[in-house]
Structure 1
Amino acid sequence: MSNPATTLARGSEASQPQIEEFRDLINGEQLRSVAKPFDNINPADTSDIVGRFQASTAAEAKLAVSAAAAAFERWKKTSVSARAAILNRAADRLDAQADQIAREMTREMGKALNLAKDEVLRSAQTLRFYAVEGQSLVGEVFPNDDPDMTVYTLREPLGVVSVITPWNFPISIPARKIAPALITGNTVIFKPSSDAPLSGYRLAEALVAAGLPKGVLNFITGMAGEVGPAITTAPEIRAISFTGSTTAGEQICRAVSFTTRTQMELGGKNPLIVMDDADLEKAVDLTVKGGFSLAGQACTGTSRVLVMKRVRAEFTERLVAKVRALKIGNGLTPGMDLGPLATARQLDSVLRYIAIGKQEATLLCGGERLTGAGYDGGYYVAPAIFADVTQQMTIAREEIFGPVIAIIEVESYADAIAKANDTEYGLSAAIVTRNPRVMHDFANDIQSGTVKINRTTTGNLINAPFGGLKRSSTSTFRESGRVGLEFYTQIKTVYRGC
């Protein structure tokens, strides 16, 4: 992808920093929308405009669909080794530009710079993983009674697929969707979140620079209400991989044809159980890392901590002390533990839930919007801990997606499991214990697609399946790992006689 070659003066003063305008990539061409572009704002300093992006229209989205459809047959017939080489070259480019991309990511969505760089490098690993795994994806040969016949299966690409991704992991989530789609021979329409489009742009840029033919990957930005129907309900769309809110995912599923394959990774209300034999210091550390990394804006983030009655007081005291010591600030500043919330909408939503929590439960610390030097220009909230939370409370049931943790007292392992499972979600769950029997039982008893034992609820390997149960996922196809390839392929059975 070539340089956008468009810079716009910020304001009317020539001395002001230049704002770079990034265009859609459709059929290998940089296209400007007919609509007015939108600004990508730094949530740590809202006076900083990271870039300007296209508020694409439905007509432009349809162009992307047509381009992907036209490119499919050629890409399908491209050798898998040639596809793999492109993924590897793109990975090399991400590695080489990791510092730059990480800094841009921190500016556009707020996470700490070290976490942003880890995400870029992880995304490069994801591309390399699928470059290898995609070359060993094979069908099966079936025994039969006819010596003059061979029966076997072929795995073929679906066709045009839409990839729609959120802002919280703006390059790693797209990488784990786009890489398996491309290596298996599909063409892609990629729509990143409008709240963090630059990281996705850099991924698309790396893939195009690595040699993707025109139309194989089409990058488009804009509001979901405008471009969404065109890239989800068009008859050319064979599959949709979406990560976002449960409400949005369910709307997509209701709108598309039954012939359109869907992969939905949605919300969570993830529990961490602290048993009475737990290492409490470790339990506190896992709670803080799982609940407040990325300012609580992770779908697998810890939001409920179910603590055995015997250790609740000591655990709570240690947790509050650790949370009060956390450093909050701009992710570009070394040593910060929490950055800002990603958008003004996130800020308003989190503060609304905290206000509800104050009416329902006991606020032990945090919960206020931070103001003053270093905070006035950003969307900062002090991490909140609520105690005396019961199952019926709003803050115990609804996904807050912010730095808010609810402590729920439990009487026994059975009580903890019952309360942990008493939710419409089932994305990730964890337990802290020294008891091997409890570890074994937890893995079987918890209703969750991802199960962690003495680990945070957050994080997953690139070579292991990822997905949820209940309303956290469509559950039919997992992301990540080798099984991530299956979503993008269909099986054809061949009977060949002499």
Structure 2
Amino acid sequence: MSKTTYNYVNGEWIESESGDTIEVENPANPNEAVGRYQSSSATDATAAVEAAAAAADDWASTPGPERGRILRAAGTLLEERKDELTDVLVAEEGKAHAEAGGEVQRAIDIFHYFAGKAADLGGTMKSPSAPNQNLYTRTEPVGVAALITPWNYPIAIPAWKLAPALATGNAVVLKPASAAPGVAIELARALDEAGLPDGVLNVVTGSGSAVGTEFIEHDAVDAVSFTGSSEVGEMVYDRATDAGKRVQTELGGKNPTVVAASADPAEAADIVAGGGFGTTGQSCTACSRAIVHEDVYDEFVAELVDRAESIDVGPGADHEMGPQVSESELESTLDYIEIAENEGATLAAGGNTPDGEAVETGYFVEPTVFTDVDSEMRIAQEEVFGPVVAVIKVSDFDEGLHVANDVHYGLSASIVTDDHTEANRFIDEVEAGVVKVNDKTTGLELHVPFGGFKRSSSETWREQGDEGLEFYTIEKTVYDSY
């Protein structure tokens, strides 16, 4: 029998109103239940929001250095439990062990980073036009922040929303994704043990239709931060803004890597394979389009196919690439593979579920490469969210740039080139919030902004770094005459 975990509301671990639960399975072995969590209702979500609202004023008035001390202590607790958290992440989400460990470390680093930032918050002093007057700004929290997070980075994304929200003095309600909620709940456990006051953080598991909707629409919620698909995120944005909330969304991607004529095909294949097949392709910044100059196309394809076919697929605990998170995600990827073949793309590698005893029960798919792809095909336009790379041939840099921008998304983009002019034109002209030169589309620094263009983001506030603090704060300007 798998362990039952409760909601965290007003400093207590409590059962949902109904007592119903959600069972989380191991995607590498769906017959193995690895956790049981509360299937909460709107009533449970309301209780969490009310607890946050009641705690908000006292937490807002807590000095920034004290808030930072609690975040730092929580980060240290996470560091002490890194191995345990890594195992939970592998079991619930399926990530390869090395990738899971890196994600847990990122959460630790995020807590330590924003712990330091908490002491620097305050405002700025300005010179007034009038005599005998102080003129300055104060940075204040917005109030109660609702965070709705996805399953693909189940500890990193909650951390990079939660840490700045708490550092700036907001009370928080958090709904982690039902597919892999365990590590997000461990963030609450660490903060509780670090001394976070009751009610400042509340974590409720359950469906988006019940818990998420209440978080988005409740009158006491002041800000909503959502990461997930573009379709759901756009609905969240509309409903939250209609309710007068401040809203931040980070959504899907169809991320290109342009391989220029000057690129080394083997190096470019390493970069594309790392971006396209890492984390089983289940990243909003994953490379799903390789846009390749015709002069290096054939050699690049051969190199990429070689890398795809050499990846060791199996349970994340001891293999290079783990399963997809669920049966529905696997079926979606296989559907896109079939669609690509029907539209005339050439299957150059993968395309099937792998054979072997280690992979016979899980949601595994082979790293897949399509060639002879036209930019108008669905495989080149729609987010697959699996380890599938579409290779598109172009005749020159300008065509490559046009194809890179010829989608409704604009999250991450990269170019592989030895031509400095091409690199700088790409930086200037590509429509993406994250731009990389001679690097893979995935992988983000925590101290710089993250966000996308077009359907990849609400284009309101960025996450991470100093800009990650801005969403959770509001400025007050003070004229103090004496």
CA contact (8 A) 1:158 1:489 kept: yes
2:209 counterpart (182, 205, 225):
225
Within 5 A, what are the aligned runs for 1:28-177?
Answer: 28-33=11-16, 34-177=18-161
2:333 counterpart residue number: 350
Tell me, what secondary structure is at the counterpart of 1:281? helix
Question: Deviation of residue 351 (structure 1)?
Answer: 0.8
Question: Deviation of residue 249 (structure 1)?
Answer: 0.7
Tell me, what secondary structure is at the counterpart of 1:208? helix
What does the per-residue CA deviation read over 1:2-49, in whole Å, with 9 as the maximum and x for residues that have no partner? xxxxxxxx3xxxxxxxx1100001111111111420111110011211
Tell me, what secondary structure is at the counterpart of 2:249? strand
CA contact (8 A) 1:233 1:257 kept: no
Tell me, what secondary structure is at the counterpart of 2:324? coil
Question: Deviation of residue 368 (structure 1)?
Answer: 0.6
Counterpart-to-counterpart distance in 2, 1:489 and 1:472? 23
CA contact (8 A) 2:258 2:414 kept: yes
Counterpart-to-counterpart distance in 2, 1:371 and 1:276? 37
Tell me, what secondary structure is at the counterpart of 2:30? coil
Within 5 A, what are the aligned runs for 1:447-486?
Answer: 447-486=431-470
Counterpart amino acid of residue 260 in structure 1: K
Equivalenced residues, count: 479
Tell me, what secondary structure is at the counterpart of 2:79? helix
Instruction: Among all aligned residue pairs of Structure 1 and Structure 2, give the percentage whose two residues are the same amino acid.
Output: 42
Counterpart amino acid of residue 345 in structure 1: S
Tell me, what secondary structure is at the counterpart of 2:415? strand
Question: Deviation of residue 134 (structure 1)?
Answer: 2.2
Query: Is 2:343 aligned against 1:339?
Result: no
Counterpart-to-counterpart distance in 2, 1:23 and 1:494? 44
Query: Is 2:480 aligned against 1:496?
Result: yes
Counterpart-to-counterpart distance in 2, 1:472 and 1:311? 30
2:246 counterpart residue number: 261
What does the per-residue CA deviation read over 1:124-168, in whole Å, with 9 as the maximum and x for residues that have no partner? 110110111121123222223211112211110000101111111
Please list every run of 5 or more consecutive structure 1 residues that lacks an aligned counterpart in the other structure: 1-9, 11-18
Counterpart amino acid of residue 160 in structure 1: V
Counterpart-to-counterpart distance in 2, 1:269 and 1:111? 21
Counterpart-to-counterpart distance in 2, 1:63 and 1:308? 57
Tell me, what secondary structure is at the counterpart of 2:57? helix
2:275 counterpart residue number: 290
Tell me, what secondary structure is at the counterpart of 1:91? helix
Counterpart amino acid of residue 14 in structure 2: L
Counterpart-to-counterpart distance in 1, 2:14 and 2:162? 21
Counterpart-to-counterpart distance in 1, 2:305 and 2:29? 28
Tell me, what secondary structure is at the counterpart of 1:496? strand
Counterpart amino acid of residue 332 in structure 2: S
Tell me, what secondary structure is at the counterpart of 1:46? strand
Counterpart-to-counterpart distance in 2, 1:378 and 1:237? 39
Question: Deviation of residue 474 (structure 1)?
Answer: 1.2
Root-mean-square deviation (CA, aligned residues, Å) is 1.0
CA contact (8 A) 2:351 2:368 kept: yes
2:358 counterpart residue number: 374
1:24 counterpart residue number: 7
CA contact (8 A) 1:350 1:401 kept: yes
Counterpart-to-counterpart distance in 1, 2:233 and 2:293? 35
Counterpart-to-counterpart distance in 2, 1:252 and 1:430? 29
2:233 counterpart residue number: 249
CA contact (8 A) 1:110 1:330 kept: yes
Greater CA drift, 303-312 or 318-327: 318-327
CA contact (8 A) 1:35 1:57 kept: no
What does the per-residue CA deviation read over 1:74-99, in whole Å, with 9 as the maximum and x for residues that have no partner? 11111111111110110111110000
The alignment's TM-score, normalised by the length of structure 2, stands at 0.98
Counterpart-to-counterpart distance in 1, 2:449 and 2:49? 29
Question: Deviation of residue 228 (structure 1)?
Answer: 1.4
2:304 counterpart (297, 303, 319):
319
Counterpart-to-counterpart distance in 1, 2:180 and 2:85? 12
Counterpart amino acid of residue 389 in structure 1: V
1:16 counterpart residue number: none
1:394 counterpart (373, 378, 384):
378
Question: Deviation of residue 370 (structure 1)?
Answer: 2.4
Tell me, what secondary structure is at the counterpart of 1:48? strand
Counterpart amino acid of residue 349 in structure 1: S
Query: Is 2:295 aligned against 1:307?
Result: no
Counterpart-to-counterpart distance in 1, 2:239 and 2:383? 24
What does the per-residue CA deviation read over 1:419-464, in whole Å, with 9 as the maximum and x for residues that have no partner? 1001110000000001111111111010100000000000110111
1:6 counterpart residue number: none
What does the per-residue CA deviation read over 1:231-275, in whole Å, with 9 as the maximum and x for residues that have no partner? 111111110111100011111111124531111000000000000
Tell me, what secondary structure is at the counterpart of 1:405? strand
**Structure 1 residue runs of 4 or more that deviate by more than 6 Å after TM superposition:** none
CA contact (8 A) 1:134 1:485 kept: no
Counterpart-to-counterpart distance in 2, 1:251 and 1:154? 33
Counterpart-to-counterpart distance in 2, 1:113 and 1:295? 12
The alignment's TM-score, normalised by the length of structure 1, stands at 0.95
Counterpart amino acid of residue 137 in structure 1: L
Counterpart-to-counterpart distance in 1, 2:381 and 2:267? 26
Counterpart-to-counterpart distance in 2, 1:480 and 1:270? 20
Counterpart amino acid of residue 60 in structure 1: D
